Structure 1
Amino acid sequence: MKEHMEDEVTPLFTFGVIADIQYADKDNGYNFHHTRMRYYRNSLQILGHACRCWDVEEDPRRRPAFILQLGDVIDGYNRELGASERALRTVLQEFGDCAVPVHHVWGNHEFYNFSREELFQSGLNSRDKGEGEREENVNVGEKVREKFSSMEEVYAYHFSPAPNFRFIVLDAYDMSIIGRNQRSEKYKQSMTIILEHNPNEELNMPPSNIDALEGRYVKFNGGFSQEQLDWLDRVLNSADENKEKVVIASHIPIHPFSADYVCLAWNYDKILPILYSHKCVVCFMAGHDHDGGYFKDESGIHHLTLKGAIETPPLGDAFGTVFVYEDKMVLRGRGRISDRVMMFQ
């Protein structure tokens, strides 16, 4: 068992984190490019072990207040096997052993198995655990009531697990050619975007280009609509005014130094300036790149990409527990997940 860092004081709150479980009841196999082994059944064992570890902590101040699941909870193979619903039930039952809320992020494999409408009706819709409507001071003397009506097809919400802290869940496939009805305007816009950059017939193959960043324009990625970016800016404005620290979660990473370029959000260059224009953002968490990654940018924002459970061999682990203090977050990793101290700017 990995030896962990000693905590200096009792944390304000704690949460569990796990990414890319991609469970399927099938034998081990390879990824799309046939270069990496995936352990489809073993990922469920990792989740089960994680839930037992999170649930065994007796001190309520150290027991996770919630679990952050960073997307790709079941594998796309389930659709071919006709087992999407059964696989999802199996994973959600495993999560059910944790006596705390689970905040689910949606990844590409969610959309390989279900339509956006089906996901909103499923147990992966944790938006009701957030704050869908609240009054916010946007300008002096002006109050605006924020509603989901303008973003009802976008899976994005925010919640506050403790005073002066806010978490935001983003929809990285808001702009995408997976999960969107092909007759919808966003699908047409997304297809235009990807075809402008990727000339390949197979759009899951990254374009061969001198600029390696162009590799992000593949079918298994997506991006954030202007509508969602404007919403994010409003929420961060409110957090600034209320002197909150903000953690943002998305399936797709947004900083080029925190993941392989082929795993970046299409319009990462549009969302980063929004984060930099606010003082409140302390961390951006993502999955998607199974090798994981980490980078602290010039604004002091920690970009943490969690390694995937799906590529963790039997007897290994890939999950973590984050202890949050006034001045830092301490990640205690298990197995492939490294310990990390992330100081707040």
Structure 2
Amino acid sequence: MGYANGVVNPQRKQPLASIGIISDVQYADIPDGYSFLGVPRYYRHSLLVLQRAVQKWNDQKLKCAINFGDIVDGYCPKDQSLTVVKKVVGEFNRFNGPVHHMIGNHCLYNLPRDKLLPLLNIPGRDSRAYYDFSPVPEYRFVVLDGYEISAIGWPKDHPNTIKAMNFLHERNPNPDKNNPNGLVGRDRRFLMFNGAVGREQIEWLNKVLRDATDSEQRVVVCCHLPLDPQASSNEALLWNHGEVLDVIHRYGCVKACLAGHDHKGGYAVDSYGVHHRILEAALECPPGTDAFGRIDLFDDRLALVGTGRLKSQELVFGR
């Protein structure tokens, strides 16, 4: 892959820019616990992982950083939610550059959208959390809001909540809508901790990708929820991942889709040559270990340079 101890080989040309990445910090000031599947979770240690990430990003003088969602955990006591979110955002703000956030389900368990988005400096309108940015002229990063249609984060009587609950009732017969029992294959994604991209956002995505094509930009799509079933567990997928991929596949400009949510990580290349990479979670790092990294942007590839449990990988563009 051209790496020696996670460092890009010296004969490679300089990247156009380098960007910090981390996902699923899920900090809470509570004792360590376990996931539903019995995987250990280190709620307090994850803040140390973030602190080490920011320090390394600053040492490397990176252009910007991207947080792939879930900065606090759902088990965080609700009377502490606002304080804890502010605390974690404060750690991100120690980075010497812009930090681009996206929302995850655990963020929305703690705070409603109208309180959360301003704290994360997310520029979406009407409490929507999708936007795009260009760290360098050659690249466009598109940040999707995977919980636009969602049973969490919106007021109970909001049209998006009602739409999400109707959607779940039709597809998941279990009383607990976070229980996949009886659901088969990709239908196991019809869970309350997932969500969907709405109609307006689909149209916006199409417009952004058309504009990026006209501008000859390479596009990286970022979403807390994974889009590709070959890279992800069925239980972690965006509800309408196929609809989003249909738009992405119309355009040759999209080179990679990056996600969090599925803590073990994952990787696949789809039939259109788009790379799908899921980032390993900071939350599941035992004390003294890490999971964060950076992306080096080149004309013909992305180089993920991982630290600790986040695997280094080169995503070479095939089209």
TM range (shorter): over 0.9
Is residue 156 from structure 1 mapped to residue 135 from structure 2 by the alignment?
A: no
In the other structure, the counterpart of 1:12 is: 16
Q: Distance in 2 between matches of 1:152 and 1:311?
A: 34
The alpha carbon displacement at 1:126 in A equals 2.9
Summarize the alignment of residues 181-192 of structure 1 with structure 2, pairs less than 5 Å apart. 181-192=155-166
**Residue in structure 2 matching 1:56, options 53, 59, 78:** 59
Is residue 83 from structure 1 mapped to residue 80 from structure 2 by the alignment?
A: yes
Letter of the 1:53 partner, please give it: K
Q: Distance in 2 between matches of 1:120 and 1:55?
A: 25
Q: Distance in 1 between matches of 2:121 and 2:225?
A: 18
Is residue 25 from structure 1 mapped to residue 29 from structure 2 by the alignment?
A: yes
Summarize the alignment of residues 101-140 of structure 1 with structure 2, pairs less than 5 Å apart. 101-122=98-119, 124-127=120-123
In the other structure, the counterpart of 1:97 is: 94
Moved over 3 A (4+): none
Letter of the 1:73 partner, please give it: I
Question: Does structure 1 retain, via aligned residues, the 8 Å contact 2:6–2:307?
Answer: no
In the other structure, the counterpart of 2:249 is: 276
Of residues 151-160 and 11-20 in structure 1, the stretch that sits farther from structure 2 once superposed is 151-160
Question: Does structure 2 retain, via aligned residues, the 8 Å contact 1:286–1:306?
Answer: yes
TM-score for both structures, normalised by structure 1:
0.88
SS in 2 for 1:219: coil
Letter of the 1:188 partner, please give it: I
Determine what percentage of the aligned residue pairs are the same residue: 36
The alpha carbon displacement at 1:2 in A equals 4.0
In the other structure, the counterpart of 2:47 is: 44
Question: Does structure 2 retain, via aligned residues, the 8 Å contact 1:213–1:262?
Answer: yes
Letter of the 1:113 partner, please give it: N
TM-score for both structures, normalised by structure 2:
0.95
In the other structure, the counterpart of 1:223 is: 196
Deviations 1:116-148 (A, max 9, x none): 1111332x1332xxxxxxxxxxxxxxxxxxxx7
In the other structure, the counterpart of 1:315 is: 288
Question: Does structure 1 retain, via aligned residues, the 8 Å contact 2:221–2:258?
Answer: yes
Letter of the 1:90 partner, please give it: K
Question: Does structure 1 retain, via aligned residues, the 8 Å contact 2:6–2:306?
Answer: no
Question: Does structure 2 retain, via aligned residues, the 8 Å contact 1:293–1:304?
Answer: yes
SS in 2 for 1:166: strand
Letter of the 2:17 partner, please give it: F
Q: Distance in 1 between matches of 2:193 and 2:287?
A: 26
Q: Distance in 2 between matches of 1:329 and 1:36?
A: 30
**Residue in structure 2 matching 1:326, options 290, 293, 299:** 299
Letter of the 1:27 partner, please give it: P
Deviations 1:237-262 (A, max 9, x none): 11111111111111000100111010
Q: Distance in 1 between matches of 2:147 and 2:122?
A: 16
Letter of the 2:49 partner, please give it: I
Deviations 1:158-204 (A, max 9, x none): 11111121111110000110112121111111111111111111111
In the other structure, the counterpart of 1:294 is: 267
Question: Does structure 2 retain, via aligned residues, the 8 Å contact 1:292–1:305?
Answer: yes
- List alignment gaps of at least 5 residues for structure 1: 58-62, 128-147
The alpha carbon displacement at 1:88 in A equals 1.4
Q: Distance in 2 between matches of 1:3 and 1:230?
A: 39
**Residue in structure 2 matching 1:206, options 175, 180, 185:** 180
Question: Does structure 2 retain, via aligned residues, the 8 Å contact 1:79–1:112?
Answer: no
Summarize the alignment of residues 161-180 of structure 1 with structure 2, pairs less than 5 Å apart. 161-180=135-154
In the other structure, the counterpart of 1:137 is: none
Question: Does structure 2 retain, via aligned residues, the 8 Å contact 1:2–1:334?
Answer: no
Q: How many residues end up aligned between the 2 structures? A: 314
Letter of the 2:68 partner, please give it: L
**Residue in structure 1 matching 2:38, options 24, 35, 38:** 35
Q: Distance in 1 between matches of 2:117 and 2:280?
A: 26
The alpha carbon displacement at 1:34 in A equals 5.8
SS in 2 for 1:77: coil
SS in 1 for 2:134: strand
What's the RMSD between the two structures over aligned residues?
Answer: 1.4
- List alignment gaps of at least 5 residues for structure 2: none
